[in-house]
Amino acid sequence: MAKNFIDLEELLERTENDRELMRELLSIFKEEFPQRHQALREAVKSLNATQVVMEAHALKGMLSNLAAVEAATAVAEMEDLGRKNETSKFLESFSRFEAIAKELSRQVEACMAEVSG
Region for 85 from its dihedrals, namely left if φ exceeds 0, alpha if ψ lies in -120 to 50, beta otherwise: left
- Nearer to another protein by C-beta: 80 or 103? 80
| 67 near another protein (CB under 8 A) | yes
How far CA 65 is from CA of 7, 42, 69, 75, 89, in Å, comes to 11, 24, 9, 14, 26
Could you give the CA distance from residue 80 to residue 52 in angstroms, rounded to a whole number?
9
Per-residue binding string, another protein, 68-107, x by CB under 8 A, is: --------x-------------------------------
| Site for another protein, rule CB under 8 A | 13-16, 18, 21, 24-25, 28-29, 32, 57-58, 60-62, 64-67, 76
